[in-house]
C-alpha cells in the first residue's frame, strides 16, 4: 500500500498566498433535478387549521399541477402536523411537516373483531402520465400500530387500476409487526424478513425501481431500539424480483396517485370479519407520511441513496440544482428570514436586485454542527446576471464574492460564527448592476460528523458489533461499535461520505478522530486510510483526545470517498474507543496554508 505522510499544526504551517475562494462551473449533481413529482412535506396548511383541505397537497418542484382530493368524514380527515424526522433527508434530523392519517376505529364488541372505521385518504388526480416500464418512487413514512387492524394497510397506490400499476402497504394482522408488501394485478409480493416493520418503529425510507419487468425495493429503518440498545438505522436493505411479462408494471394511464387507503371513501363503514367480503373499505394506512417523489426513469443504487439523503454532506439545502427557480415560490423574501426546512422555499424566484437580501434560518445542535467549520454555497442559474454577493452569519460578515451565471460561489463559515440554537445566514446583493442574480440552489455543509462530541461513547453501540462498512448519515448510530478492538473482526471500520463536485479540489480539510473515555493506552496505534491509500499513522495513548489529520484538497475527489480506520496496536490488547469522527474545511487565512511532507 502506498504511504503518504502529512504534517499538521502550527509547526507545519508555512507562509504563502491566501487560499482562493471557490468559484467553479458545475453541472447538476442533484438527483431531484429531473424528478417528476417531489412532495417534501406532503402538504401546506394554507389556512392554519391543521387539517388537510383540497388543494393543500403540493408538488415542491412546481412542474406538475396536482388536482388533489381529500377523503374522510367531517372532523376525521388527514391531519397536517410537525413531527421529528431523524432519517436522512435534506438536512439534519428535526421537526418537519408531515401528513398523519388517523383512521379512527370504533369497535362494537370487546373482542375487537367487528366495528366501524372512518377512512381518510388523499388522491392527486391523474398526474402519472407518459410513464413506461422504467421509473422510480420513494416514500418516507412512520406507521402507527396503536389500533389493531384486521387486514392489509395500503399506504400508496401508484397508478393502480385496469390491470396495471401497483399498491404498496403493510400486510398482516399482528399488533407487534407487519410485513411490507407490493401488490400488482393478481400478484402480491411479501418482501421478506428484512422488510418487516415492528411496532414502535420510527421513520422508514422505502424506494422502488422498475426496469422492464425487474422490480427492486430498498429500505432504511429507524428503530426500534432492541433489548441490547441497538438499532438498524443506516443499514440499507435491498431485494429484487422479476415478474412475468403478463404482469403490467406500467402505471395505468388513467390511474392516480393515492395515499392512505385502497378505495377512498367519505363516511363511516362497517368492518366485517376478514372471512367476509367488503374488506376494501378498511384497508387503511394508519400513520404519517413525510416525503414522496417519483421519476420517469430507473435510478441507480447510488441515486437512491442520494434521494434518501444518504450519505449526507450538508446541514441544509434550499432549492434543487435543476437550473430553474420554479421551486422557489416567493416574489419577495419574508422579513426576518425563513426556516430552511419548511415546505415552502420563499426565496425570490425573480432574483436579487441591488440591495435585496434573503435570510436563511436554521438550527444548530450542541455537540454536532456547533463545533465544526462549514461551507456555504450559492449556485446561480445559467441565465443569472453577474453580481457581487455579501454573506453574513449571525450578523458577522464573511466577505463579498462575485457570482457569474451558472457558477457556484462559496464562503467558509468558521465554527466560532455558529451558535447552538437558531442561526441566520443572510445573502445581500451589493453591486449596482441592472440585471438580477437568480438562485438555483444554496447549501450549508460540505463536511460531516458521526457521533456527538461529548467525551462519551454511549451514542454508539457496544464493541461486540462486527459491521465494518458505514455510510455517513444523520441519526442514531447505535449500530456502530463504540470501539475498535485490538484483535478480531472489529479492529477496523470504514466511513463512506460524498464530496460535492463544487467543493472537490477547492479547499483543504481536517479529519478529526476523537477517542472516547475508555480504551487506548501505551502502545495503541491508529491508522487512517483514504480511498485505499495510507493517510497517516499515529499513536493514541490518551482517552478523550482529539487527533486531527490534515487532508490536502487534491486528495478528496468529487463523489464518494472512503475513510478507513484501523487499530494497529503492535503490543498489548488495548482497544481504541470512539467519541466522534468529523471532517471540516480549513478556513482560508492570509499567509497560511497546509504543507505536504
CATH of residue 173's domain is: 2.60.120.200
**Shared domain check, 123 and 106:** yes
What CA–CA distance (Å, rounded) separates 114 from 108?
Answer: 6
Domain end position, chosen among 414, 445, 476: 445
For the stretch 375-398, pLDDT in tens is 999 999 999 999 999 999 999 999
Q: Which residue, among 168, 155, 151, 173, has the nearest Cα to 101 in the 3D structure?
A: 155
Domain end position, chosen among 286, 307, 328: 307
Q: What is the pLDDT of residue 228?
A: 55
**Shared domain check, 540 and 435:** no
What CA–CA distance (Å, rounded) separates 166 from 188?
Answer: 10
Assess whether pLDDT exceeds 70 at residue 273: no
- Are 516 and 577 spatial neighbours (Cβ–Cβ below 8 Å)? yes
What CA–CA distance (Å, rounded) separates 566 from 528?
Answer: 7
What CA–CA distance (Å, rounded) separates 285 from 268?
Answer: 15
Facing residues of 514 across strands?
546, 580
**Which pLDDT band holds residue 10 (cuts at 50, 70, 90)?**
very low
Q: Mean of the per-residue pLDDT values for the chain? A: 82
Name the DSSP letter for residue 22.
P
Whether residue 312 is contained in a domain is answered as no
Mean pLDDT across the stretch 462-474?
71
Q: What is the pLDDT of residue 76?
A: 83
Mean pLDDT across the stretch 462-487?
72
Mean pLDDT across the stretch 541-552?
90
Whether residue 412 is contained in a domain is answered as yes
279 phi/psi in degrees, rounded to 5: -70, -20
**Shared domain check, 440 and 462:** no
Mean pLDDT across the stretch 239-249?
94
For the stretch 17-47, pLDDT in tens is 233 333 333 346 889 999 999 998 888 888 8
For the stretch 278-325, pLDDT in tens is 556 668 898 999 999 999 999 998 899 888 876 566 788 899 999 999
For the stretch 132-172, pLDDT in tens is 999 999 999 998 887 766 578 899 999 998 789 999 999 88
Q: Which residue has the higher pLDDT, 215 or 222?
A: 215
- Are 97 and 291 spatial neighbours (Cβ–Cβ below 8 Å)? no
Assigned C-alpha cell, 435: 440585471
Buried b / exposed e along 117-154 (16+ C-beta atoms within 10 A): bbbbbbbbebbbeebeebbbbbbbbbbbbeeebbbbbb
What CA–CA distance (Å, rounded) separates 347 from 357?
Answer: 10
Decide: helix, strand or coil at residue 375: strand
Domain end position, chosen among 418, 445, 472: 445
* Four-CA torsion 81, 82, 88, 91, nearest 10 degrees: 130
Task: Tell me: cis bond preceding 129? Omega within 30 of 0 counts.
Answer: no
Whether residue 24 is contained in a domain is answered as no
Assigned C-alpha cell, 114: 367487528
491 phi/psi in degrees, rounded to 5: -95, 5
Name the DSSP letter for residue 491.
G
Assess whether pLDDT exceeds 70 at residue 457: yes
**Shared domain check, 530 and 462:** yes
Residue % of the chain over a pLDDT of 90: 37
**Shared domain check, 386 and 281:** no
Determine whether 245 is exposed, middle or buried from the number of CB atoms within 10 Å of its CB (0-12, 13-18, 19+).
Answer: exposed
Whether residue 22 is contained in a domain is answered as no
Q: What is the pLDDT of residue 184?
A: 93
- Are 530 and 562 spatial neighbours (Cβ–Cβ below 8 Å)? yes
What CA–CA distance (Å, rounded) separates 94 from 445?
Answer: 16
In sequence order, what E strands does 172-203 have?
177-184, 187-190, 196-198
Which of 88-97, 496-505, 512-521 has the weakest average pLDDT?
88-97
For the stretch 100-134, pLDDT in tens is 998 888 878 887 777 788 888 999 887 888 899 99
Whether residue 23 is contained in a domain is answered as no
**Shared domain check, 151 and 40:** yes
What CA–CA distance (Å, rounded) separates 165 from 459?
Answer: 42
Q: What is the pLDDT of residue 134?
A: 97
46 lies in which domain range?
31-307
Assess whether pLDDT exceeds 90 at residue 399: yes
- Are 455 and 326 spatial neighbours (Cβ–Cβ below 8 Å)? no
Most confident of 42-46, 210-214, 280-284, 568-572: 210-214
Q: What is the pLDDT of residue 12?
A: 26
**Shared domain check, 339 and 193:** no
Q: Which residue has the higher pLDDT, 276 or 446?
A: 446
Whether residue 508 is contained in a domain is answered as yes
**Which pairing describes strands 576-585 and 448-450: parallel, antiparallel, or unpaired?**
antiparallel
* Other Cβ atoms closer than 10 A to 582: 22
Assess whether pLDDT exceeds 50 at residue 590: no
For the stretch 364-378, pLDDT in tens is 888 877 888 999 999
Q: What is the pLDDT of residue 92?
A: 54
Which of 71-80, 241-250, 468-477, 529-538 has the weakest average pLDDT?
468-477
Q: Which residue has the higher pLDDT, 285 or 174?
A: 285
**Shared domain check, 502 and 545:** yes
What CA–CA distance (Å, rounded) separates 309 from 316?
Answer: 11
**Which pLDDT band holds residue 594 (cuts at 50, 70, 90)?**
very low
Q: Looking at the 3D structure of the chain, how many domains does it have? A: 3
Amino acid at each position: 500500500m502506498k504511504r503518504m505522510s502529512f504534517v499538521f499544526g502550527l509547526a507545519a504551517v508555512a507562509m504563502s498566498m491566501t487560499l482562493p475562494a471557490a468559484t467553479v462551473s458545475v453541472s447538476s449533481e442533484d438527483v431531484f433535478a429531473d424528478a417528476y413529482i417531489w412532495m417534501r412535506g406532503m402538504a401546506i396548511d394554507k389556512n392554519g387549521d391543521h387539517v388537510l383541505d383540497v388543494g393543500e397537497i403540493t408538488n415542491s418542484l412546481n412542474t406538475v399541477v396536482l388536482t388533489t382530493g381529500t377523503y374522510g368524514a367531517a372532523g376525521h380527515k388527514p391531519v397536517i402536523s410537525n413531527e421529528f424526522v431523524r432519517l436522512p433527508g435534506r438536512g439534519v434530523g428535526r421537526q418537519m411537516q408531515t401528513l398523519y392519517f388517523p383512521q379512527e376505529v370504533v369497535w362494537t364488541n370487546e373482542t375487537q373483531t367487528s366495528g366501524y372505521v372512518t377512512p381518510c385518504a388523499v388522491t392527486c388526480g391523474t398526474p402519472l402520465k407518459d410513464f413506461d416500464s422504467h421509473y422510480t418512487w420513494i416514500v418516507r413514512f412512520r406507521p402507527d400500530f396503536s389500533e389493531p387492524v384486521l387486514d392489509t394497510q395500503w399506504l400508496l397506490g401508484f397508478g393502480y387500476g385496469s390491470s396495471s400499476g401497483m399498491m404498496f402497504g403493510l400486510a398482516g394482522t399482528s399488533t407487534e409487526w407487519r410485513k411490507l408488501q407490493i401488490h400488482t394485478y393478481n400478484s402480491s409480493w411479501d418482501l421478506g424478513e428484512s422488510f418487516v416493520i415492528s411496532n414502535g418503529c420510527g421513520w422508514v425510507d422505502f424506494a422502488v425501481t422498475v426496469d422492464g419487468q425487474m422490480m427492486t425495493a430498498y429500505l432504511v429503518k429507524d428503530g426500534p431500539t432492541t433489548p441490547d440498545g441497538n438499532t438498524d438505522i443506516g443499514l440499507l436493505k435491498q431485494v429484487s424480483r422479476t415478474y412475468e411479462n403478463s404482469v403490467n408494471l406500467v402505471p395505468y394511464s388513467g390511474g392516480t396517485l393515492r395515499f392512505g387507503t385502497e378505495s377512498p371513501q367519505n363516511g363511516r363503514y362497517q368492518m366485517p370479519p376478514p372471512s367476509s367480503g367488503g374488506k376494501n373499505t378498511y384497508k387503511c394506512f394508519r400513520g404519517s407520511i413525510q416525503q414522496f417523489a417519483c421519476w420517469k426513469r430507473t435510478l441507480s443504487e447510488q441515486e437512491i441513496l442520494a434521494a434518501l439523503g444518504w450519505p449526507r454532506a450538508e446541514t441544509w439545502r434550499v432549492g434543487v440544482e435543476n437550473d430553474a427557480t420554479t421551486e422557489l415560490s416567493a416574489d419577495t423574501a419574508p422579513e426576518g428570514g425563513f426556516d430552511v426546512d419548511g415546505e415552502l422555499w420563499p426565496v425570490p424566484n425573480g432574483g436579487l436586485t441591488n440591495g435585496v437580501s434573503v435570510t436563511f434560518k436554521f438550527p444548530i445542535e450542541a455537540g454536532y454542527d456547533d463545533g465544526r467549520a462549514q461551507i456555504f454555497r450559492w449556485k446561480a442559474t445559467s441565465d443569472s446576471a453577474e453580481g457581487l454577493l455579501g454573506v453574513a452569519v449571525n450578523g458577522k460578515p464573511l466577505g463579498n464574492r462575485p457570482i457569474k451565471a451558472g457558477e457556484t460561489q462559496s464562503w467558509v463559515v468558521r465554527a466560532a460564527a455558529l451558535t447552538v440554537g437558531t442561526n441566520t445566514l443572510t445573502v445581500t446583493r451589493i453591486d449596482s448592476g441592472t440585471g438580477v442574480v437568480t438562485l438555483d440552489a444554496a447549501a450549508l455543509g460540505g463536511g460531516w460528523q458521526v457521533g456527538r462530541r461529548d467525551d462519551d461513547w454511549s451514542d454508539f453501540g457496544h464493541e461486540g458489533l462486527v459491521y465494518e462498512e458505514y455510510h455517513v448519515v444523520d441519526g442514531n448510530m447505535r449500530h456502530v461499535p463504540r470501539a475498535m478492538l485490538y484483535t478480531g473482526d472489529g479492529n477496523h471500520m470504514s466511513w463512506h461520505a460524498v464530496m460535492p463536485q463544487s467543493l472537490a479540489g477547492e479547499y483543504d480539510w481536517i479529519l478529526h478522530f476523537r477517542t472516547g473515555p475508555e480504551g487506548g493506552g501505551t502502545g495503541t496505534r491508529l491508522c487512517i486510510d483514504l480511498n485505499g491509500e495510507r493517510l497517516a499513522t499515529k499513536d493514541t495513548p490518551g482517552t478523550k483526545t482529539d487527533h486531527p489529520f490534515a487532508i490536502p484538497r487534491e486528495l478528496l475527489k468529487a463523489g464518494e470517498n472512503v475513510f478507513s480506520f484501523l487499530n494497529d496496536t503492535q503490543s498489548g490488547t488495548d482497544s481504541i474507543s470512539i467519541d466522534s469522527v468529523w471532517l471540516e474545511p480549513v478556513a482560508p487565512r492570509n499567509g497560511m496554508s497546509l504543507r505536504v511532507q
